[in-house]
Structure 1
Amino acid sequence: MEKAEIPGWDISKISNQDQRTLKKLGLVKESSLIFPGDESFPRPPIGYRVTFIDHLVRGRSTPIHEFLRGLLFVYGIQLHQLTPNSILHISIFITLCECFLGTHPHWGLWKRIFYLRRNSSRNVAYNVGGMCICVRPDVDYFDVKFPDSVEGWRRRWLYIQEEYKNSQEYNIAPFDGAAEILRRRSWDAEATAEEKKATDALMKRIHQLQNTHGEELSENLDRAEKRTDELAVKLEQSEKAREKAEQDAAVVGALRRRLHNAENALSEKVSQQIERENAIIDRLETQNQRFVRRMGEDFTLHEGAEDRLLDTLSILELHGDLARTNISDARIAFKRLFPHFFPKQTQPEIFSELVQRFRGEEDPALVYRQENLKLGVEGTIALVAGSRQDVDWAKAGDPKGMNKEKWNTLVKAAKPHSKKILAFLGHKPAASASTAKPEVK
């Protein structure tokens, strides 16, 4: 077997089980992946990037999020130098900011919570997975229990097609599998006094989320972690069986039949286990409805015989893009409407507070319409008074003697003259005539 050209890299060993897992999880399109052959060192084709199976299942996707691209630039590291647990930390932080705090991932908040350190043993300095994202020991943050190590993840590398957004200003540095890790002061840089002051409200909101949903999230993550460990054991068993088949070519046929029978038996056992867990999953889905409603979408928990995603994170990953788009569109719409409905009020910066202004007991659209109607009536009276015509305002302001037929006739007769009045007021009428009727309250 050919040795790796660069320390830390070896021939990629991605099993059929790994490929089926990617397809069942629906993380990426099959056409966007290239599984390497006997290459002992990554040489991605043009338009492709190097990634790992364990990075994908923990939230790494394309196009690469702008916060992750900025993080790699500030720390001066390559994507392959981050451990799977570090990728999961970044995915959780981005989701926390965009879906629960209502803001873009905040660099000052990140520095308050995390720092970067080397990942090495006593005798080995890693290149692949040589850097680790850690929570600062003096920070009260979500107690997310990650596995201490992910077995064999460095050998499960592949190529994924890169995608770009039109608004993307820059991309990550080209792949360099031999890039040396050089320490930077940014690794353990702390938030400045100004950044702490600017993020105090965000930290307070995180603590509120911890108090409200911390126990529930912890239970969900613990359950998902157990399922991930079980799946890791199964994947390891499958890998060992494949290696034995390569070493003993004489019994390949028999081994394949035995593996096939084992997979069928395992699938049947897992199906039975899923049925026993349905009641538990139903309770979890009920608890997660509060999170789903805040994102504005109804999601369904993805369950499979070999689902290795965390229960909560699978919902956020598969539907996070849609939720972020809807929230962004809603933010733009509310900001455009706010100055018209609340002209004398300061527009809130936080999205949740902006929404609450429109959810008052009194309908703001109705108030806005009635106010405009009042102004229109007063303007009409002013125009009539300016024409120097004698008008009995007591009779003109009394609609009791007005029937529907007479009203429609008067409105029809007024339309040719209303265009002149509207032009005087600087109004540009729509292409079709308005059929709206004044609302009298």
Structure 2
Amino acid sequence: MAAKGWGKSKVTRESLLPYVASGVIPEFNKERWRVPPANEVEPLPRPGEFVLFLSFLDRGFALPTSDFLRQLLAFYNIKVSDLGPHSVQQISLFVALCECYLGCPPYFPLWVSIFHGRATRASKNSEALIPNGGITFQYSPEPSVPRRLNVRSLPREQEEVVKEMRQAIQALKDSGLTAVDMYNCWLGGG
């Protein structure tokens, strides 16, 4: 299925009031968030802003985001809107793996060693990503080879920590940890 381009936003301040009332987004403050202007068809975030979809909020993605997610976005020089649903799921499962099974906050160098990314371009000779989810992250059973998104190799001091963490993951798998267990943890059922 081909990706569609952006459509004019139907979001208004009034449509966001339930999210404010429930605490998912903070009270309106022009410096903290804004609705798109009526003449803006394609999102044009100002410096320091990013696009957030109501469907993300409906599914539990709230602000402020985690340090890990901000680091991931900065490292790859991407925006939240560049992530497709599968990528959001991969990121969430990685956080569950770290927090529920390794007992630590998400460790970005471990992420880089496990996942590789791919950018889907608008056209063959274009640098522009397809709108709405042009970045896909995929699990790699072998240490990730920096590629596709111009990822650099890990510094040597981080390589040893990552090696130990990957060994801990393998031990968890050897003792019976399955993908279903991780989904249950992520969904709050385990």
Question: Is TM more than 0.5 here?
Answer: yes
Letter in 2 for 1:197: K
| CA shift digits 1:315-340 (9 cap, x unpaired) | 38xxxxxxxxxxxxxxxxxxxxxxxx
State the shift of 1:120 in Å. Answer: 4.3
* Equivalent position of 1:133 in the other structure: 137
* Equivalent position of 1:40 in the other structure: 41
Structure of greater relative contact order (alpha carbons < 8 Å, 6+ residues apart): 2
The CA distance in 2 between the partners of 1:186 and 1:30, in whole Å, is 34
Letter in 1 for 2:102: L
The CA distance in 1 between the partners of 2:77 and 2:46, in whole Å, is 23
* Equivalent position of 2:24 in the other structure: 28
* Secondary structure at 1:129 match in 2: coil
The CA distance in 1 between the partners of 2:58 and 2:112, in whole Å, is 25
* Equivalent position of 1:200 in the other structure: 166
State percent identity of aligned pairs: 29
Summarize the Cα distance change of 1:63–1:195 in structure 2 as closer, same or farther, 3 Å threshold: same
The CA distance in 2 between the partners of 1:137 and 1:197, in whole Å, is 13
* Equivalent position of 1:110 in the other structure: 111
* Equivalent position of 2:84 in the other structure: 83
Letter in 1 for 2:7: D
The CA distance in 1 between the partners of 2:122 and 2:92, in whole Å, is 26
2:118–2:149: 8 Å Cα contact kept in structure 1?
no
The CA distance in 2 between the partners of 1:47 and 1:71, in whole Å, is 15
* Equivalent position of 2:6 in the other structure: 9
* Secondary structure at 2:165 match in 1: helix
State the shift of 1:103 in Å. Answer: 1.1
2:117–2:149: 8 Å Cα contact kept in structure 1?
no
The CA distance in 2 between the partners of 1:47 and 1:76, in whole Å, is 12
Aligned residue pair count = 167
State the shift of 1:50 in Å. Answer: 2.0
The CA distance in 2 between the partners of 1:72 and 1:206, in whole Å, is 28
Q: Indicate yes or no: 2:154 matched with 1:185.
A: no
* Secondary structure at 1:185 match in 2: coil
2:117–2:135: 8 Å Cα contact kept in structure 1?
yes
The CA distance in 1 between the partners of 2:76 and 2:98, in whole Å, is 20
State the shift of 1:202 in Å. Answer: 3.0
State the shift of 1:114 in Å. Answer: 0.4
Q: Which has the larger radius of gyration?
A: 1
The CA distance in 2 between the partners of 1:99 and 1:215, in whole Å, is 13
The CA distance in 1 between the partners of 2:104 and 2:23, in whole Å, is 25
1:59–1:87: 8 Å Cα contact kept in structure 2?
no
* Larger proportion of helix: 1
State the shift of 1:108 in Å. Answer: 2.9
Summarize the Cα distance change of 1:184–1:212 in structure 2 as closer, same or farther, 3 Å threshold: closer
The CA distance in 2 between the partners of 1:8 and 1:205, in whole Å, is 44
Letter in 1 for 2:94: F
Q: TM-score, normalised by structure 2?
A: 0.62
Q: TM-score, normalised by structure 1?
A: 0.31
Provide the alpha-carbon RMSD of the alignment: 4.2
Summarize the Cα distance change of 1:30–1:70 in structure 2 as closer, same or farther, 3 Å threshold: closer
1:83–1:130: 8 Å Cα contact kept in structure 2?
yes
| CA shift digits 1:258-281 (9 cap, x unpaired) | xxxxxxxxxxxxxxxxxxxxxxxx
The CA distance in 2 between the partners of 1:112 and 1:102, in whole Å, is 18
1:54–1:84: 8 Å Cα contact kept in structure 2?
no
- 5+ residue gaps, structure 1, are 1-6, 140-182, 222-287, 292-311, 317-441
- 5+ residue gaps, structure 2, are none
Summarize the Cα distance change of 1:78–1:44 in structure 2 as closer, same or farther, 3 Å threshold: closer
Letter in 2 for 1:86: S
The CA distance in 1 between the partners of 2:52 and 2:116, in whole Å, is 23
